[in-house]
Amino acid sequence: MSNLPKIAWIGLGIMGSPMSENLIKAGYSVTGFTLEQDKLDRLTAAGGTSAASIAEAVKDADVIITMVPASPQVEAISYGPDGILENARQGALIVDMSSITPQTSVDLAKNAKEKGIRVIDAPVSGGEAGAIEAVLSIMVGGEKADFDEALPILEALGKTIVLCGPHGSGQTVKAANQLIVAVNIQACAEAVVFLEKSGVDLVAALDVLNGGLAGSTVLTRKKDNFLNRDFKPGFRIDLHHKDMGIVTDAARNVGAALPVGAVVAQLVASLRAQGDGGLDHSALLRAVERLSGQQV
């Protein structure tokens, strides 16, 4: 009989499915709930257990991991008679790995404490590839004792795992991460269009750029997307649009100016308005191509 904590996993999307499967591979018992039956079937095929409701998934869990798109979904699964807080046992630990507003995380921790339930916010960076390879960066907000308890679980999911401060701090750092990633993708996209219009060998150019100071994880991960115009979603524009709203709002609240970030937020919003919200965020290249007079 395993002495490992029993895990409930809520949300089995692009990120949640491979992450939950990595926990199963690490020997954890995982009971999952999501709205799509095919994703529950995938979990059971990997050795997990499917639940018919949130209440069923969380009732015996020691640790409840949530990975849903945004603050409204976190609130929907957490609150109300069918939600996590009403159905989890006292002493359970919620690890919310969604990317949401820092205030939502602070509020969830406060409301959970009244029920005798602990919470850490633990959003991730690394996209679908990082989730599959279990090399995510995980930025955590909450109490150190709760972080220490969750650390062995998080180590089955990522490589860089850091307690960033009190509740909401993980979300603040994730917002900064999304700012850097969006600006970086935009710069790469502009460079690609500039290089192609100049008649340069794009493969060679990106190789040499990635070997110098212009190199980045973004360019490494997204180079093939740019070269092949392959925008199958690893992280959708819709979600990055949501994240840019989080970072611009949070920055306004603390009086931090984000002049470049604000422009990129508008470019992400524009791409989404043109119907590309379901594409990978590397599709920012399509927006630059349109601005440069290219048909896409």
pTM summary value:
0.92
Q: Tell me what pLDDT residue 80 has.
A: 96
CATH of the domain at 55: 3.40.50.720
If asked whether residues 80 and 144 sit together in one domain, one would say yes
* Res 151 pLDDT > 50: yes
Q: How far apart are CA 37 and CA 183, in angstroms?
A: 36
Q: Tell me what pLDDT residue 1 has.
A: 46
Q: pLDDT for 154-206, tens place per residue?
A: 999 999 999 999 999 999 999 999 999 999 999 999 999 999 999 999 999 99
Q: Tell me what pLDDT residue 234 has.
A: 87
- Domain of 225 in residue numbering reads as 172-291
If asked whether residues 256 and 120 sit together in one domain, one would say no
From 39, 174, 222, 223, the catalytic residue: 174
Of 166, 186, 215, which residue constitutes the final position of a domain?
Answer: 166
CATH of the domain at 248: 1.10.1040.10
If asked whether residues 144 and 192 sit together in one domain, one would say no
Active site residue 110: no
